[in-house]
Amino acid sequence: MKNTAFTKFHQQAGAKMVPFAGFNMPVEYTGINEEHATVREKVGVFDVSHMGEFFVSGPSALRYLQHITSNDVSALVDGKVQYSCFPNGKGGIVDDLLVYRYSTDRYLLVVNAANVEKDWQWCVSNAKSFGIVPGRDLVNDSDNIAQLAVQGPLALKAMQKLTDAPVESMEYYTFKVLKFAGIDDVIFSTTGYTGAGGCEIYVRNEDGPRLWEAVFNAGQEFGIKPIGLGARDTLRLEMGYCLYGNDINDTTSPIEAGLGWITKFAEGKDFIDRALLQKQKEEGTSRKLRGFVMLERAIPRQHYEVVNEKGELIGEVTSGTMSPMMKQGIGMAYLNKGYWKTGTEIYIRIRNKDVKATVTDFPIYKGS
């Protein structure tokens, strides 16, 4: 089991630690509901050092990324970040990821913790035909990088105290390489998977402890708290953000997952599964990922059956929880055609009882 540069701080804070993606990670500190509210209303800090980081460089980097990712990498400018996915050649998804553009011939890919090795092998297997050499043009730096996600409406205000560069005014999904908390060459990115605003900060492992202490000192006046993986899941679910392994996987297409907006059929972009996904976009799919809210007090869970009023099977829950902000059960499910319209009544089968719910748009939590 791997530790991160911040493990000792989690243990000192009394976090409940669990194994996750081969790492010893904090699932909660004081309780998921309290931690969730801290991120929505103030500022919270997640250790996301278990994520993977691959650097891609060289004259064919753009052409290579245009082939292996679904989004249009050519639309990026220096300092911009893009959400994307790796189509798997069979209509499914290898992983979802972020693409950072440093320049026309240098990029950073940030991939999910549980998929680092799988993603690396996928990237390597597609590299040769583009003259991309692993170890030279394609570098897996995951084990050397520590990352904190500082999230919440007060996050950037707090973090501005730690750098002379203007970060509070940074646009969403942009990044800078700057001096931060006295540390050189920090990647500071206005990204995150909570829907609450904020940033993600990347440093070398050896600079991790210094970063942690500086971030918490800067955020003290704003009510900063460490946050575990439990609240990370409830926060992303309120927003309707897909979690790999739950809502998307090797058998789900980006079109049916509602990720058509990151699947770009740009001229000259010959990406994996292009023809198949273009056909799905034009002709439609038989199922679609939708959000729902329980109309009765109940908590939906992954793999629960979704039925119509006649009790006929019409789908399956992929993620579910009790929303800390809404105080209602919420979830995401793949639903058969005919049940996608917002406001449609559906039923979640919970312990042999069909409990009424209604289909909703994303984000599921609309804010206070």
* 33-44 tens-digit pLDDT: 999 999 999 999
What tokens appear for 75 in the block?
């639309």
C-alpha of 267 from chain center: 28
- Which residue is associated with the tokens 């701080």? 9
Mean pLDDT within 7-18 = 97
Average pLDDT on 74-93 reads 98
- 340-355 pLDDT, tens digit per residue, is 999 999 999 999 999 9
Secondary element (H or E) of residue 36: helix 32-41
pLDDT digits (tens, 9 = 90+) for 103-112: 999 999 999 9
**Half-sphere exposure of 93 toward its Cβ, with a 13 Å CA cutoff?**
29
Asked if the model's pLDDT at residue 367 lies above 90, the reply is no
In this structure, whether the domain defined by 286-368 belongs to CATH 3.40.50.2000 is answered with no
Tens digit of pLDDT for each residue in 121-157?
A: 999 999 999 999 999 999 999 999 999 999 999 999 9
User: CA-to-CA distance for 277 and 92, rounded, in angstroms?
Assistant: 10
Could you give the percent of the chain with pLDDT greater than 70? 100
pLDDT in tens, 240-277: 999 999 999 999 999 999 999 999 999 999 999 999 99
Q: Are 113 and 52 in contact (CB under 8 A)?
A: yes
Helix, coil or strand: residue 236:
helix
pLDDT higher than 70, residue 160:
yes
For 155, the enclosing helix (H) or strand (E) is helix 155-159
Name the β-bridge partners of 134: 138
Tokens of 104: 């026309």
DSSP-derived 3-state class of residue 13: coil
CATH number for the domain whose boundaries are 1-285: 3.30.1360.120
- Quote the pTM value: 0.96
For the chain, the average pLDDT equals 97
- Burial (CB < 10 A; 0-12, 13-18, 19+), residue 209, is middle
Three-state helix/strand/coil letters over 247-311? CECCCCCCCCCCCHHHCCCCCCCCCCCHHHHHHHHHHCCCEEEEEEEECCCCCCCCCCEEECCCC
Residue spans per domain, the chain: 1-285, 286-368
Residue of 96, 86, 97 lying closest to 123 (CA atoms): 86
pLDDT at 368: 56
Residue 64 is given by DSSP the state: H
The pLDDT of residue 60 is: 98
CA dihedral (331, 337, 341, 346) positive or negative = negative
Packing angle between helix 229-239 and helix 32-41, nearest 10 degrees? 60
What is the C-alpha separation between 189 and 79, in angstroms, rounded?
9
